[in-house]
Structure 1
Amino acid sequence: MKFNTKAIHGGQENIDPAYKSVMAPIYQTTTYSQTSPGNHNGYEYSRSGNPTRSALEKSLASIENGKHGIAFGSGLAAIDAIIKTLKPGDEVISTNDVYGGTYRLFNKIYKDFGIRFHFIGMQSVEKIESCINERTKLIWTETPTNPMMNIIDIEAISTVSKKHGILLAVDNTFATAYLQQPLDLGADIVMQSATKYLGGHSDVVLGSLVVNDDDIAKQLYFIQNASGAIPGPMDCFLILRGIKTLHLRMQRHSENGRAVAEFLKDHPKVENVYWPGLESHPNHEIAKRQMKDFGGMISFSIKGNSTKDAVKFLENLKVFTLAESLGGVESLAGHPASMTHASIPKEEREKIGIVDSLIRLSVGIEDKEDLLEDLKQALD
């Protein structure tokens, strides 16, 4: 099946053997009847497994071209499960332009458990390789990155990771499986905050991992059950429903994203625009090679680098909503320095370009003319 068909049907064969419902039923139950101790129909307790969650996990694996899907209560819970595969003394190489919640998890929690993290720019594979030693167990990357929209060459980094026997995990939240297939490019683990584009309607929190390797999957399923950071059946149902329109929404997000990026780059009050679809983007050619389109996430800075001007702009938006998160059908705007990336120290933020005047947009699927008019009046 091609992607659009997989989004609707992938992994969904025989999802309801009882009544043949078209959508996966919501199995709102904690436990399951057994005819004899240990003799059941595949489910015994809903932390360990739930039919609605199983349907979602099969769908997640299908759209990512993977073998095993594992669902968690949030994107950070999914990342947490990956780090729990490590031991004290292990080291991780992470992109320095990383989601603030990921940075907080790595630097404020797992650093105290004896795991060392190296935050570096990943534009050069030579720089990545220079940080590798016998204790390096994982390379963690995002592409496009949050919020600077840097593009990282997954295929090139996978060559390095395989050469040294290191796992490569890719946060695919901004691109989604519709625009980018990290497993096909050599990644070992692909993570998504399904809260964002997979759900698509700003009404559910959930995280996902997809892998091909049976041993990695077995380890992650064990952690999922042992740690218990699972999503409920209603949450799984909502993500399943969202995936069925993912391809349609991502097309419109990308179309509107292009219109907004082109508008902003020519506006006299805008300093820089960060969107991988612009030819001026440093890694535009890599983005063209590994992405189907360029999505609806855009960051830009207002001239003067003034927090006051950024806040005034955000307060005057009418169609865009000032809010955390991203990936919903509605357009959102945020101020990374004080919102999504406030957990990163100011000097570290500014090193990677998160200045006080930086605005991050999640461009929705409204009429683009209304979005452009809203940006124009707020900038004016």
Structure 2
Amino acid sequence: MNQLAQTVTDFIEPVIPYLVIGSKKAAEEAGKRVGPEVWELENQLWGKLCSRVRPELKEAAGDLVVAPSDPELKQVLVREVLKSFEMNPDFAKEISVFMEEELIRKLTAEQRMTAFQQSPADKTGVLEEFNKLLEEFVAKYSIVQDSERLEAGPGKEEIMEKEALMQKTLDFASRIQYGDARSLALSLLVPHLEGPGKQELIKKALSSASNIHDEAERAAVLSSLVPHLSGPGKEELIEDILDFAPYIQYGDTKFQVFSSLVPHLEGSGNDGSENERLGNEILMEKALEMASGIQSEYLRVQALSLLIPYLKGQRKEETIEQALELASNIKDKNMRSLALSFVDPYLNGPGKEEGVEGDLVQDLSFNEQPKSKMN
């Protein structure tokens, strides 16, 4: 039963975020990542595990979404799966039979092989192997670029070889188990992603980044992805990053990703169509939700202020009021003045008098009080 619980957890681990979210879009993304056939099997297995009323199991899976690749949290999930088996041996037999499907046996064997290859290896060795692949790809990339400058242009074989190398390098980077090494590898590779499948490659890099445990390393990859948000599929990629926001725990990390993302909201959904307009409204609501989830009041004011120029109508006025109220309630005088200065450009009339100017008057009147009263 111990071995079965471990194998089951290993099998569903790559798609746990999609299983926990459980939306139609999450299912589509999971299908793209692991293939529809594999996703169907993983989803079936998850359904069987959740058919037993054990909220502890779902809670353990949710914790693993927040902190992917944390070995301790993974073992918590293994133990919860094991408890389900121990409580019902017939259920364990049912799952054991399910896991004997040929495709599942092949996949679990591949997972064990990958883990075996990397478990004794040091990070230096893994990164050296990645650098060889990256250098090979960059060399081929340069050859194709040189060919593009010539009248004949690059040959079909050259382009296919370059794209194959790009895919191979990304696959290798995505499988690196060391979070910091994977973060470094993905950050180095992302600027080179291009071509017709660029958006899909970036989504794959985003998916791999979501499994990095350390938030600073994860943010580094997300931030390296942001400059490449352009062209077809831009809005979808922005939405993917915003959907990932709830799983960023620390406010400063969340603000780092948010502030790099906001400038790319410009031009989203401006082609005039109803679908694009609705899509843009959804993006803005998700961006507001991400900003509101920043714990620090000072950073939250700054985040909301960054977003204000992209909002319209009543939503814009509400956000200005929210940012002003937050800034006015910051206890530290210097921090409050700085926070109010972020909101000040968007205030008019009475609101402006109550904002930065009002705050400065309050500070000056406080400083001019007789010392006896201050004491």
TM-score band by shorter chain is under 0.3
TM-score normalised by L of structure 1 = 0.26
Higher strand proportion, which one? Answer: 1
Relative contact order, higher structure (CA 8 A, sep 6+): 1
Greater fraction of residues in helix: 2
